[in-house]
Structures are given as structure tokens and as C-alpha cells.
Amino acid sequence: MSFASTRSTFERAASQRTGSGGDRPMAVMVEGLSKSFGAKVAVNAIDLAVEPGQFMVLLGPSGSGKSTLLRCVAGIERPSEGSLRINGTQVDGPGTHLPPEKRDLAMVFQDYALWPHMTAEQNVGFALRRRHLNADERRRRSHLALAQVGLGGLEARYPGQLSGGEQQRVALARALVAEPSLLLFDEPLSNLDADRREQLRVDIGAMVRRLGAAAVYITHDQAEAFALADAVGVLDKGVLVQVGAPESIYRDPASEFVARFTGLAGELSGTAKEFDGRFMVVDVDGCEVQGRPMLGSVPSIGEPVRILVRPTAVHFAHDERAGSTRIGAVVLDSAFRGWGYEHVIEVAGGRRMTGVPDVQRLAFDSRTEVSLSADGCLIFPDRTSHS
């Protein structure tokens, strides 16, 4: 289903591009893009469309090819195959490769990539050169951009005199100042401390949307991805496995990989028992667990299945949200999170569930029961099971 939605977005974009001229072209249009380094294929036959003003987050573990894809969009890498359009202009394709400076975009780098010999103002002003403004105007806009990212008064500082968070804000101002129609972010928060990361994440989201530019943002952190994205694309081993709204990706992951990468409490194995057209009952070591079959294909009765459980689907028995079917559990750990506690429990069959929330602390080693809500139990056919 989610794949179908990708396809439809893609086709819509394609029709916009070729069809009626009145529509705005896609901010980014990637078709069949591959990139190899020697024998290693980093990115394999990717199709992706980013609408104007859309905030697209590419999510994937390290080595999934998300960085390579972003660098191809930026023009830093040249694709081995496929084509790339930015705002309707072909920038990569057979015999075409537009250098980065001709693509009218901006980028925020993981390591900030500020020029250490320039002051904050000079760093920001440098990105305005292509706008051919006079010195006064450049200075005015640089100051404004720095003020917008909260660095008013620090214009004369050199990068070395700023903290990591401040440096990345300078980099953000540099990316925003020329008001390009496309912004690229290469894991901009990964080198920052937790508290600054959250503040800057909020600012990035707000400012990009205020600017109205399209953004492609890569990260390996699903929370960051969901918080920022209009649309999320998940990459695995160089392949774009799913694109969609954060909600749909979380609800209907296209594969076990996507489900795992977007956050699980734990996994259970069992046998498909009943299916009522919406939910499926699975026998897990004698307990019955309800869940939703994924991938549009319903496992047949008696087939081994795997249940991937979202943390939000697990409730302790005393919780009013707890359902009627329950399984026994032992508390292994509880961690105070401010709003309450996150627990690690062991359920029947020795499986662990992590990140189970509750407002009170359950004692270590205490026995309890949990219920698993059917909506957050994602059922996949278990092709590896021998039982």
C-alpha cells in the first residue's frame, strides 16, 4: 500500500513535469539514480520526488546510501546512472552534470564545514555572493540571518570561538541567507549535545517552513525524522524501501526492516490462528496475541509469523488502556524519564520488550501482566522460522 503511494506520488510528479505547464515542477525529481564506488553499489536505482516546499527526511542506518544520495542531489557526487532534476531543470543525466554551484541550493553539513578563517558574518555572507548584492545589502542580510538563528551580536566571532551548537546555527544561517528553493541537511544534529539538538531541530523545522523551501534532510534517528518530516523515505542497503508520511510509515511499515528502524518494543514469534478481515490472532507459546498483518499479504492460518511490537502497544495490566487479552511478564528494569518510567520486561517465551511506558515505577523482578494492543502489533510472515 505504502509502495503504491510512492508510486502514485512519483507518477503524479512525472505527469506534472511532462504535462500541463502551469503546475510547479517537483523541487527534486530523482529517476533511476544509481551510484557505485568501484564494485560497491552505494545507491541503487532510486526514484524519488520532493514536492515544492516539502520537508523530505531520508532515514536509514549508516551505510544505507542516504549520504550518497544527498551528495548526488547536491552535485558533489556524480551519479553513475539515472537522472536528476531540480525545479524542473535537468542537473544530472546522460552527458549532463551541473556542478554544485549551478544548482541554486544550500546545505548544512554534519561537521558544520564552516570556514575557520572567516567570521560568522563572513561565512554567512559568502553564501550570498551568487546573489550579486552590494556589500551593505550583503551585510544587512547576513546580520538578519544570524539574528534569526539566535546569534545576534556574535557576527564578528570566528568559528573557533563559538560552541558546537552555535557553529551549526551559523551553518544554518549560511544555508538560509540566500533563500534558495532547496535546502539539504546532512545529519546536522549528530555532533551536538542532546539539549542543543532538540532546540536546533525545532528551529530548523520552523525556519525552513517559514522560508517555504523544499528540504532534503538525512538522519539515522527516527525520532528526529518523524518530528521534522512531511514525508519520510527509508533507505536500506542503497535501496529506497518506503516513502510516505511519517504516520503511514509508522503505522504501515513496508518491511520488517522499516518497522524495526522506526522503533519497536520487541518481537514475538507465533503461529497464525484466526483472521477476521482486519485483525489476526496469533498463538504465541499458548497465549493469544492480536495484531495487524502487514505488507498487504495475510499469512495463512497455521503459518509461522513474527509480531513486531511498537512500544506504544504495550500496556501494563493496571493501565486503563490495557486490553482484555494479557500475557505474563517480569520487570527487568525501570528507567525514570521525567514524565514517568520506561520499563524493560520479559514476557512469556523469554522475549524482551523495551521502552514500556508507565507513570509509576514497577519494582525490579516483580511479576505482572501486560496487554498488547492489536493496532501496534505488526504481523509479518516468518520465513526463517523452522516450527
In this chain, which of 156, 202, 223, 301 binds other proteins, going by CB under 8 A? 156
Candidate ranges 21-29, 168-176, 229-237, 269-277; the one touching other proteins (CB under 8 A): 168-176
Asked if 160 interacts with other proteins (CB under 8 A), we say yes
In this chain, which of 14, 76, 211, 332 binds other proteins, going by CB under 8 A? 76
Asked if 152 interacts with other proteins (CB under 8 A), we say no
Asked if 159 interacts with other proteins (CB under 8 A), we say yes
Asked if 140 interacts with other proteins (CB under 8 A), we say no
Q: 137-170 burial, b if ≥16 CB within 10 A, otherwise e?
A: ebbebbbebbebbbbeebbebebeebeebbbbbb
> Which lies closer to other proteins via its Cβ, residue 51 or residue 166?
166
Query: How far is residue 166 from each of residues 100, 157, 160, 161, 289, measured CA to CA in Å?
Result: 26, 11, 10, 9, 49
Candidate ranges 23-31, 154-162, 272-280, 350-358; the one touching other proteins (CB under 8 A): 154-162
- Provide the minimum distance between the beta carbon of 29 and other proteins in the complex, in angstroms, as a whole number: 19
In this chain, which of 15, 115, 137, 247 binds other proteins, going by CB under 8 A? 115
Asked if 352 interacts with other proteins (CB under 8 A), we say no
Candidate ranges 73-81, 136-144, 229-237, 371-379; the one touching other proteins (CB under 8 A): 73-81
Asked if 122 interacts with other proteins (CB under 8 A), we say yes
> Which lies closer to other proteins via its Cβ, residue 6 or residue 119?
119
Beta-sheet pairing, 28-37 with 40-50: antiparallel
* Residues 170-209 as x/- pattern, contact with other proteins by CB under 8 A: -x--xx--x-----x-------------------------
Binding residues vs other proteins (CB under 8 A) = 71, 74-76, 95, 97, 99-101, 103-107, 109-111, 113-119, 122, 126-127, 129-130, 156-161, 163-164, 167, 171, 174-175, 178, 184
